[in-house]
Structures are given as structure tokens and as C-alpha cells.
Amino acid sequence: MVTITIDGIEYEAREGQTVLDVAKENNIPIPSLCHHEALKPWGACRMCVVELNGKIMASCTLPVAKDQNIKTKSELVKTVRKVVLNLLLARCPHSKTIQQLARLYGITKTTLKADEGRDNCILCNVCTRVCAQLGSSAIATVKRGSEKEIGTPFGEKPPDCIGCLSCARNCPTETIKFEETDAGRIIWNKSFEMAECSICKAKTVLTKEQVVFFAKKSGLPEEYFAKCDECARKETAETFAQLVINPGAHIMKAWGFTFGKLEAKAITASPVLPQKFERS
Amino acid sequence: MRFSNTKDLGTRIESAKAARQKVKRRLLVCAGTGCIANGSLEIADALQKELDARGVKLNVELSLKKTGCHGFCEHGPLVTFHPEEIFYQRVNAKDAAEIVEKTVLKGEVIDRLLYTDPTTKQKVTKYFDIPFYAKQQRVVLANCGQIDPAAIDDYFAVGGYSALKKVLEEKNPEGVISAVEEAGLRGRGGGGFTTGKKWRICRGQTSDKKYLICNGDEGDPGAFMDRSIMEGDPHAVLEGMMIGAYAIGANEGVIYVRHEYPLAVKHLEKAIADARACGILGENILGSNFSFDVSISRGGGAFVCGEETALLNSVMGETGEPRPRPPYPAVEGLWGKPTIINNVETLANVPTIINKGAKWFNGLGFKNSHGTKVFSLVGKVRNTGLVEVPMGATLRDIIFGIGGGILNDRPFKAVQTGGPSGGCIPASALDLPIDYETLTENGSMMGSGGMIVMDDRTCMVDVAKYFIKFLMGESCGKCVPCREGLRQMSYILENITEGKGKPEDIERIRELSVGILNGSLCALGQTAVNPVLSTLKYFENEYHAHIKDHKCPGGVCKPLITYGITDKCTGCTVCARACPVNCISGEKKKLHLIDQKKCTKCGACFSSCRFDAIEVK
Ligand SMILES: Cc1cc2nc3c(=O)[nH]c(=O)nc-3n(C[C@H](O)[C@H](O)[C@H](O)COP(=O)(O)O)c2cc1C
Ligand code: SF4
Ligand code: SF4
Ligand code: SF4
Ligand code: SF4
Ligand code: FES
């Protein structure tokens, strides 16, 4: 355990935690956009900046250390966050997430040149990182610098995409479009059919590609995964217990495998708007 | 020849030195990238033929060598003759016969090939009488241009690898670190971090594996100091790496070289192979317990890949984007192992520190900056090239002493130091000593040693715009302040240079700068605003002139200038003929006139007039 000070108050922190972790645990409001609980720290949006010994640091990538004295409300911190929001608002003036966050800092309209006709992507890379973490790496950033964007290989339908929708559902600005019907899904221009239940033949909530992918990753037969809600529910808790100790357990967990229900949304979307926030 | 211990190496060094003493007459042809491009290899061949034809016994009576770069490429191809130190410039293969006939055989000097001092208009015979060289102090560049970089024996002959020998015989790793620390060596790649301190942090890490990386990315446009060292004295870089690796406990090294540097790669590869064959590199170096080997990794050419954490990712085959710090590379670097990344010039200083002693090195310099620094002097200065001066020399020493002053005797306006993200320093700072702290305090930085001189016909807003655009193009795009901030900054500057600036733009620039400077993830973004902030600091009036008066005092921003013809006009008609849109009228020997409505502001008339009769307003 180490003791760190945030805004004059001492907190106990565990070795290996970041300053943002500690702040979140203690309900200290620090806004963040590219941080995602299930992913490794990325440090790209610079929304979560704090001040340490007069220097601005991103709290999501700052490991706690003994006697750290962190300021989250200094003028410099506010200025940097405001510049970041001003810039993001110029990039995607129509993003609700950014508008909302900007308003907390008293910004309703960017003072900079606003882009029109661009989507709401803020390049937080949550989508690409989620996809990579789940094992597909179907999408990536393309180009560099101010031309950077999220894309698929050669701009085509991504061959490795299994239609899990994790990218879209975790995108803080809801930029990634997808369509969903009972029979199938479309994302990144690629169409997917839902797998049939291996027991009753009804449609499941997984795409065929997802079933194949899970089976391959876990070494379990495809039938394990191809189950509709109803049939899955009938499975005993014991079967599930077996599942979570098998080698595919982390994948199951990542997708939030709950009793009988596979839910693609388990890596929770986390554009974190702090609960209480002083206006500045 | 494989040395099984340091004593054997010592014997070899001594015999190589003796051999060099014996053949004192040396005809040296510069075979650096610049001179090769101008045909120096053909000159070397021609000289060889001429010498053979006259029966001169090579390596007995005289040695003919192809060396690395002298740093004065503009005057290349260069041929020098020693021990007389005769300096021939702009040599052609056709001159070979005459050089051999007159200079080699009769000791005569060929006037035509001598350098003319642009200030005094006098011919200069000897290398070190040329002001460009006379005022330099060559420590890191000492061997560049003097030895054949492809011959390990040439390096032995100037005492090469005696530092490694000394370290293995007399010093433990801690002793090496202390020496480098005591010398006060600081990184030459940008940050100026104390090298010894960095090494000590890495040495303190327990790990089965550690790496030492030599950063030869050199992405600054126009800079070629690291290239010249790698090409001209590759063994010095290797020796520095070996000593560093010994100090931190690394057994694997990587030299990261930019892909546009094929000759550097070639010479480094040869050096590595030769060192391996000698038992200087590889397992149990010179019979000791110390094992270390080096490989070359070729960079993709992006400026940001020179940033140490982006470089690590690039070497590992990942996207060349910086990583957040901490963890610092010294703790968690290449493949997650403790890694030291040092600049080429930093490492090339290490053997000298060991050989000449920490005290000697520490005595050279100013305040907390020790040793020398190599600068790449370019821009509106008479002599351009690589210059090495002791830390603490003034900008005036470099620009006016070595550089010979401003081209065409125009007034000096500013000098940008430190590469694209350095600041522009005005005339009032010309007499300040060059050291890490002074440059930073004055809104610029040492950086890797770029130095661009600007005259009065430079627009400082335009300069700021140029560098912001360059950096915007080189930003990796990972973090918001740099990616979005530089784009917005460039819009604002673009507007100002087009006469569309608004008074509030100045405040906007300042505010954006605070965000970019403090908020960016890596040093590219953190330093990118230097060109803007420094020009605002020293030349704010130029910004106002653009915004309020719609004038460009430097006469550069087209939408804000007009060309006019003054009564200095002699009516020579040259401008009228030069104008591509035929908008200059006037009779012979009468004052000419520009039709402002048709003028496209191309500047052709301005550069064509020999009577200085065309003015920009
Ligand atoms: C955008 C950027 C580009 C850089 N390019 C180089 C380079 O080309 N060569 C270099 O040695 N250091 C470069 N650096 C500095 C390195 O990150 C690092 O500080 C340096 O290699 C450390 O070596 P030193 O301590 O010997 O100076 C760059 C830094 C940044 C931010
Ligand atoms: S739907 Fe799933 S697999 Fe496809 S790109 Fe998104 S996260 Fe990756
Ligand atoms: S699409 Fe969404 S998740 Fe992906 S980088 Fe853009 S904002 Fe982030
Ligand atoms: S500061 Fe610029 S170059 Fe550095 S990580 Fe951020 S975007 Fe990339
Ligand atoms: S600036 Fe160009 S277009 Fe204008 S008068 Fe001179 S030559 Fe002609
Ligand atoms: S940089 Fe910390 S949340 Fe984005």
C-alpha cells in the first residue's frame, strides 16, 4: 500500500494502480475518454490530466507512487482540459458525449475552426483495442497525424471481423454504425447471419462467425456456443462452472458470459462523465 | 586476426599507429554522401590510375584513402593532401592528373582548386586556415575526413578501441558510469539528460536481458551530424556502445538507422563484421566475461520514430507511436526489458571521455553543458555545413565566425536552433553562450543541433507556419493536443499569413499552446509550439503587422505584399522580360512600372533586377 495525496486529501492506494484508478475508487471526478476498464491504459485523449509537481500528466497512465501529491483542479489542469475539449468539439461538433463534457467546463461552442462532414470519432482507439483484446484485430487506425482514422484492411469488409459489435458498443461517441435484426447483423459493411441453436434451431444472439471463433479459441465444440437463450437457460449451473474454468474462460468473461446469456456488451461502454462536477 | 585478450589488441593498436607514422603522406578523397553524389568516387579511381601510371608505390610512399564527410559538402568533392594539409575543393576527375603531377610529385599547390574565403576573397591553402575549420574544435568529428571508415586498422591507427581496452582492464561498470557522470556528458539527441545518470538507473535494474540502442534516426530535415559520424567513424559509435553496454550490463545492442542512410548502414555493417572478426564484438569480448553483439534496424523514415518510445515500438515491428511514460525505457524498454537509448553523437563521445579523462571533457564547455556539440549550420549564411564547437560558444561565433556571416551581407534576423521544434532566437541573443539551459531559457532548445539562419527577408509568421505544418504532418496522431492542436494552429497561422487574421488570434494561439505544450503525450507535441511561442515572444509586432495592417514586414506573404519599382531603375528592361505575365511596362532607359492589377507576385522581377530597384512593401 502507498499513500498518495489528491487535492490535499490522503488516500490509500495499491501498488500497480494508476492515479485514475484511485480517483475513481474514491469518487474524485476526473473525466476520461480513451480509458477503458478492461483495456490497458492508452493515454491518448489527455482528458484525464492532473498536475504532479507542476507537471501535467495523464492520470490513466500514471502509476501511484509514495507521497505523490496530485492536483486535479488546478488552473493549469483546467486550461489543458478546456483546450482538449475545445479541440474535440471542433473535430466533432455534433457528438453528444463531447458536447456534454464540454458543457461541464463551460464550453458550448468551439472557438476554433469546426469540421463539418466528419463523423464523431475522437480516435480514442477503444474500438481497435477492444477488438484486438478479444482476439480479432479486424480494424485498425490508418494513416497518420491529422489524417488518421479508424478503418478496415484496404477499406474493404474486414475479413477477420466476427460481427460481435464490441467495437460499436464500446465507442464513447457511438460513431460506429451497425444494423441488427433477428436474422442477422451488418457492421463495417459486412453482413452476418445469426447462428442457429444447436438444440432447438431458433436464432441465437451470436453470429455464425462468433460461434466458430469461440469454439476455435476455447477448444470447445461449436454446439456449446450455438444456443438460444431458452435452451441455454436450461443448462445447469454446473455446466457453466465447467465453462469458466476451461481455457476459454477469459474470453467468456470478456463477453460477460452470464448464466445462459451471452451478451456482447459486457466490456462496458465507458465514456465517463463524472457524477458530480463543479462547473468552471 | 582475432585478439584473445586486451594485450593483443594493445599490440595491434601500437603497430597500426606506427604504420601510420611511417607513411605520413596521405591523399584523402572525401567519400561522404555529399561528395559521392558529386562524383568523388570517380576522382578516387582517377587518382589511383594516375599514381599507378607514375609508379608511385601506394602505402609505401603515400597512401590514398577514401574518408568520411568533412562537413563542408557545399564545396565538395573535397581532396586533401597531408601532412601539408592542402585543401582542394570542387575537384573533378579531370583534375586527377594535375593533382598527382604537381601536388603529389612536386609539392606544388594548384591555385584553381583552392578555397576562396567569401569574406576576404583570398585563396586559402591549408585546411585549418579556412575560417570554417579554424574556429571549430573537432572532438567527435576528429576522425571524420581523416581515416578510411571501412578499415578497422585506420581506426586502430588513431588509437581506436584503446578506450574499450582501458575499460576492460581497469574499470568496473560502476567506474565507467562514474567517469561518464563526472565528465558531465549529456544526451545529444534532444532532451539533454545526463548520460551517466540514465545508465545508472538501467544498471540498477535486475533483468536477465538488457538492451542498448543507438538512435541514428536523425529525422530533422537538413541535419546530417549523426549520418556523418556513422558514415565517417562507425567504429567510434560501436566502441561507445560497447562501453555503454558494459556499464549497464547489456549484452545486445541495436543501431536504429534511418532508411535514407544506405552508406551509414554499409559502413556500420562493415565495422560490426570487422569488430566481430577481431573478437572485439560478440561472445567473451577480448577473453573477458563481457559479451555483447550489435544488429542494425532500419527505420521507416517517420520523424516521430526518433522519439525513443516510438523507436522501441518500431524496432519491435509495431506502429511507430510513442508510449506513455512511466514506465521509462531504462526500466521497461525493448521487449519489456531495461533499455538504454542513446544518440549517435552521445555514444561517439564516450571513447574520448575514457581516453582523455572525465576531467578533460568536463573542462570543456560552460556551466552544466560539457564537451562539444556538432551543429548543422544552414540557411542564409555564407558557409553551410557541419560545425563542431565547444559548449558555451556563442551563436555569433558560429554564424559569423565559422559561417562567415549572412549571405549577401543582409542583416541577420533570427536563428532557429534545435530542429523543427526549436525556437527562433533574435539578434539580441547572438552573444549568449550555447548551452542546454540558456537555449531553453530563451525559448529554444539544443535539440539535436539543427541551426537555421534567417535574414531580414524572412517572415517570422511564415516561419512559424512552416514548422507547425511540418510537425503536423509528422505527428503520429495518437493524442488529441498534438493531432488536433497543431491542425488548428496551422489554420490560424495560415489565415494570418493570408491577411485574414483576427486580433483575437494571438490569444487563441497562446491558449492552444498551453494545452499542446502541457497536454501532449510525447516530446514532439510538447515542443512543437516552440516556433510559434518564440516568434511571438521576439517578433510579436510582425504578427500584428499581418493582422492589423495587412502587411508582411519580411516581404514574404504574397497576399500582403506589393512589388514596386523605385527610381533606382535604369530602364534595363530585364524585369519586363522576366515577368511571366508581361505586366511591366516602360521604355528602354526609362523608369519601368508594374501593373498591380495583373501582377501575380511571383517575384521574378525582384530577383532579376541587378540595380536593387524593385522593392517589396
Ligand atoms: C519527435 C522526436 C524525434 C526525435 N528524434 C531523434 C533522433 O532522430 N535522434 C536522436 O538521437 N534522438 C531523437 N529524439 C530524442 C530521443 O527521444 C531520445 O531522447 C534520445 O535518443 C536519447 O538519447 P540521448 O540521451 O543520448 O540524447 C527525438 C525526440 C522526439 C520527441
Ligand atoms: S464487430 Fe467485433 S470483430 Fe468486428 S470489428 Fe467490431 S469488435 Fe472487431
Ligand atoms: S470509432 Fe469510436 S471507439 Fe473507435 S476510435 Fe473513434 S471514437 Fe473511439
Ligand atoms: S505528441 Fe504528437 S507525436 Fe507525440 S504521441 Fe501525441 S500525437 Fe503522437
Ligand atoms: S512579381 Fe512577377 S508578376 Fe509581378 S511584376 Fe514582378 S515578375 Fe511580374
Ligand atoms: S488520456 Fe487518460 S483517459 Fe484518455
User: Could you please report the per-residue DSSP string of chain A?
Assistant: -EEEEETTEEEEE-TT-BHHHHHHHTT----BSS--TTS-----S-TTEEEETTEEEEGGG-B--TT-EEESS-HHHHHHHHHHHHHHHHH-TT-HHHHHHHHHTT-SS-SS----S--S-----HHHHHHHHHT----EEES-GGG-EEE-GGGS--TT-----HHHHH-TT--S-EEE-SSEEEETTEEEEEEEPTTT--EEEEEHHHHHHHHHHH---HHHH---HHHHHHS-HHHHHHHHHSTTHHHHHHTT-BTTB--TT-S----B--SS----
In chain A, the residue whose alpha carbon lies closest to the alpha carbon of B319 is A141
Band (A250; pLDDT cuts 50, 70, 90)? very low
Q: State which of B422, B455, B488 marks the end of a domain.
A: B455
Do A277 and A104 touch, CB atoms closer than 8 A?
Answer: yes
Domain boundaries in chain A?
Answer: 2-104, 126-227, 231-279
Which 3 state secondary structure label does DSSP give B520? coil
Contact criterion met (CB < 8 Å) for A146 and B519: no
Chain A residues with CB-CB distance to B324 below 8 A: 41-43, 58, 61
Residues B465 and B339 in one domain: no
Which is nearest to B384 in space by CA: B375, B392, B393? Answer: B375
End-to-end CA distance of chain B: 70
Measure in Å the smallest separation between the Cα of A49 and chain B Cα atoms. Answer: 7
Q: State which of B432, B455, B478 marks the end of a domain.
A: B455
* pLDDT at residue A242 is higher than 70: no
Residues B297 and B334 in one domain: yes
In a domain, B434, yes or no: yes
CATH number of the CATH domain containing B99: 3.40.30.10
Residues B33 and B165 in one domain: no
Render pLDDT for A112-159 as a digit per residue (tens, 0 to 9): 999 988 999 999 999 999 999 999 999 999 998 889 999 999 999 999
Band (A238; pLDDT cuts 50, 70, 90)? very low
Chain A residues with CB-CB distance to B508 below 8 A: 111-112
Q: What is the spatial distance between Cα A15 and Cα A3, in angstroms, rounded to a whole number?
A: 10
What per-residue confidence (pLDDT) applies to A276?
39
Task: Kindly report the protein residue whose alpha carbon is nearest to atom 3 of ligand 2.
Answer: A161
Contact criterion met (CB < 8 Å) for A144 and B472: no
The closest CB to that of A43, out of B476, B515, B521, belongs to B521
Cell digits for B222? Answer: 537538413
Q: What is the spatial distance between Cα B160 and Cα B516, in angstroms, rounded to a whole number?
A: 45
In a domain, B9, yes or no: no
What per-residue confidence (pLDDT) applies to A263?
38
Total domain count for chain B? 5
Residues B86 and B210 in one domain: no
The CATH number that domain A2-104 falls under is 3.10.20.740
In a domain, B234, yes or no: yes
CB neighbour burial string for B511-548, b if at least 16 within 10 angstroms, e if fewer: ebbbbbbbbbbbbbbbbbbbbbbbbbebbeebbbbbbe
In a domain, B385, yes or no: yes
In a domain, B135, yes or no: no
Do B176 and B251 touch, CB atoms closer than 8 A?
Answer: no
Chain A residues with CB-CB distance to B515 below 8 A: 79-80, 82-84, 86-87
Residues A82-100: what's their mean pLDDT? 97
Q: State which of B80, B99, B125 marks the end of a domain.
A: B125
Residues A69-80: what's their mean pLDDT? 97
Q: What is the spatial distance between Cα A121 and Cα B79, in angstroms, rounded to a whole number?
A: 58
In a domain, B139, yes or no: no
Contact criterion met (CB < 8 Å) for B484 and A88: yes
What does pTM read for this prediction? 0.90
In a domain, B146, yes or no: no
ipTM given for this complex: 0.89
CA–CA distance from B594 to each of B310, B528, B562, B597 (Å)?
53, 41, 10, 9
Q: Which domain holds residue B531?
A: 460-547
Do B164 and B242 touch, CB atoms closer than 8 A?
Answer: yes
Residues B482 and B406 in one domain: no
Residues B466 and B387 in one domain: no
In a domain, B303, yes or no: yes
The closest CB to that of A87, out of B472, B478, B488, belongs to B488
CATH number of the CATH domain containing B399: 3.10.20.600
Render pLDDT for A1-48 as a digit per residue (tens, 0 to 9): 999 999 999 999 999 999 999 999 999 999 999 999 999 999 999 999
Q: What is the torsion angle, in degrees rounded to the nearest 10, for the CA atoms of residue A27, residue A31, residue A37 and residue A39? A: -160
Q: What is the spatial distance between Cα B355 and Cα B349, in angstroms, rounded to a whole number?
A: 10
Q: Helices B344-356 & B225-232, crossing angle to 10 degrees?
A: 60
Query: Ligand 5 mean position to B604 CA, how many Å?
Result: 6
Render pLDDT for A207-216 as a digit per residue (tens, 0 to 9): 999 999 999 9
Nearest ligand atom owner, CA of A80: 6
Q: Ligand 3: which atom is nearest the Cα of residue A128?
A: 4
Do B463 and B455 touch, CB atoms closer than 8 A?
Answer: no
pLDDT along chain B (617 residues), means of 10: 92 95 92 93 95 88 93 92 94 94 92 91 93 94 95 96 96 96 95 95 97 95 92 98 98 95 96 96 95 93 92 93 93 97 98 97 94 95 94 96 93 95 95 94 92 95 97 96 97 97 96 97 96 97 97 93 93 93 93 93 91 90
Q: Which residues contact A127 (CB under 8 A, 6 or more apart)?
A: A139, A150, A167, A168, A170, A171, A176
A162 lines ligand 2 (CB under 6 A): yes
Ligand 3 pocket test: which of A176, A187, A188, A272 has the largest number of ligand atoms within 8 Å of its C-beta?
A176
Task: Kindly report the protein residue whose alpha carbon is nearest to atom 7 of ligand 3.
Answer: A121
Residues B224 and B331 in one domain: yes
Ligand 2 pocket test: which of A39, A121, A130, A131 has the largest number of ligand atoms within 8 Å of its C-beta?
A131
**Burial group, residue B41, by CB count within 10 angstroms (0-12, 13-18, 19+):** middle
Q: In this prediction, what percent of chain A has a pLDDT beyond 70? A: 84
What per-residue confidence (pLDDT) applies to B245?
98
Run of H or E including B349? helix B344-356
